[in-house]
Structure 1
């Protein structure tokens, strides 16, 4: 993995990287001394109890808020040195709630993902239309492109929002609890889509609550009280001592086909 020198002597990995990141909000410490990186073609799952700073970390990595300490780097350059347009082309952020007007069609929502690439007139050109079609196809929503958001199921809507993010053709995709409110079938379907996108070279970071879903990722980062508790392969991070420390003595970790399976006993 290529690394770039940093002024304090620490090598900064290529890709999207947080270095010694800290963030405070209204005198409350949210994140402290956090360093991690996301490589192209990698799926990194972010776990941790509520209030551990997961959503804040995603917003920092997307450049939506500025860190109190440390810095975020994109391909070795400070993220703050990029224009908002350039950040939007490189990094797509999918929040927990898309917040789009309910009268928009699927195609109109997905087209919004091209905003960082449009000129002053805001008109879709040939490259934009091709990217739109690619995103609709990748997420399997092209068949209902003319339907409006209220007519969609939860799983369909989440795929549409993923398509909007993909329409920007980013190098990195940040998703905040993308499987929230989805049933088991749609969770598996959505995570299957992410696995396929990873094979196309897209770096993916997902905030998840379920360790069993996170076990499908390449690496898992576990946050606790704003600090990085563990980072590594799912089989290393999702171990019984760590999970019992966070969630209590009822946690049991088993192995199925070399993948950790987490159960909670009463």
Structure 2
């Protein structure tokens, strides 16, 4: 493929020199069925990395592995120089926030109560929220622009408002890395644009962001794009390097077209 992005090397043996969150030779199987095959990937502080690929290729599994919610069959995930499984769940939760596709909460919780749940990794098993936790929750609600409904119940919010609240919950931990699984699903165009602007602001503050996305035209706004197919990492590079017709057509069909506009790829269906 002309201009094809190069896949990463397995990564340094000593992660202490690399402050990112990175996977090396990562594989995962479920009931003897391979889901992920030897994936090497690094999420750097202050970058937005978009993860693309068709359904069922292991994107969500990769996010869960990098959040420490699953243990790999082979390979490793490191947070800086530490293997993730050697860190306590509290330490992981302070450094890495994960927002799944569907986050269910009791309907009798207010927005503020939901956001404060994000402080759990800092409280320990029996800890109680204090001034620092309230300040972190206030910061998270300000970042996501949900402060005005802090006393409303979650079910009274629109889909876009609820998604911002769940993001605020993740941000309340003040993590270094934010992992989001299809965060723009079920959002209309206006709310998608708001959400992407919010991610850009967090990136500018030094947060590393990894998002699973379906729409390549949202992924082109990221710093780098990783493309997965059948459990493997097929391409990794800038949006212009990865979002090319040969790769996309090999996966989605010949009706996919890519045009370059102002130095950025635009993916279209049809001619």
Shorter-chain-normalised TM-score: which range? Answer: over 0.9
Matched, 1:6 2:3: no
SS of 1:221's equivalent in the other structure is strand
Using a 3 Å threshold, how does the CA distance of structure 1 residues 29 and 14 change in structure 2: closer, same or farther? same
Match of 2:23 in 1: 18
Q: CA deviation at 1:107?
A: 0.3
Matched, 1:129 2:134: yes
Q: Quick check: 1:4–1:76 contact (8 Å CA) kept in 2?
A: no
Structure 1: gaps of 5 or more residues:
none
Matched, 1:73 2:78: yes
CA-atom RMSD, angstroms? 1.7
Matched, 1:175 2:180: yes
Q: CA deviation at 1:135?
A: 0.3
Match of 1:160 among 160, 165, 188: 165
Match of 1:243 among 239, 248, 263: 248
Determine the C-alpha separation between the residues in 1 that align with 2:11 and 2:16: 5
Match of 1:108 among 99, 109, 113: 113
Q: CA deviation at 1:11?
A: 9.7
Q: Quick check: 2:235–2:242 contact (8 Å CA) kept in 1?
A: yes
Match of 2:257 in 1: 252
Q: CA deviation at 1:4?
A: 8.3
Q: Quick check: 1:4–1:14 contact (8 Å CA) kept in 2?
A: no
Match of 1:96 in 2: 101
Determine the C-alpha separation between the residues in 1 that align with 2:18 and 2:265: 28
Match of 2:4 in 1: none
Equivalent pairs, count = 262
Determine the C-alpha separation between the residues in 1 that align with 2:138 and 2:193: 24
Match of 2:198 in 1: 193
Using a 3 Å threshold, how does the CA distance of structure 1 residues 12 and 55 change in structure 2: closer, same or farther? farther
Match of 1:138 among 134, 143, 160: 143
Q: CA deviation at 1:12?
A: 7.7
Using a 3 Å threshold, how does the CA distance of structure 1 residues 82 and 38 change in structure 2: closer, same or farther? same
Matched, 1:48 2:56: no
Determine the C-alpha separation between the residues in 2 that align with 1:44 and 1:21: 17
Using a 3 Å threshold, how does the CA distance of structure 1 residues 59 and 120 change in structure 2: closer, same or farther? closer
Determine the C-alpha separation between the residues in 2 that align with 1:120 and 1:49: 39
Structure 2: gaps of 5 or more residues:
1-9
* TM-score normalised according to structure 2 size: 0.93
SS of 2:55's equivalent in the other structure is coil
| Runs of 4+ with deviation above 4 angstroms | none
Q: CA deviation at 1:70?
A: 0.2
Q: CA deviation at 1:5?
A: 4.7
Determine the C-alpha separation between the residues in 2 that align with 1:4 and 1:58: 18
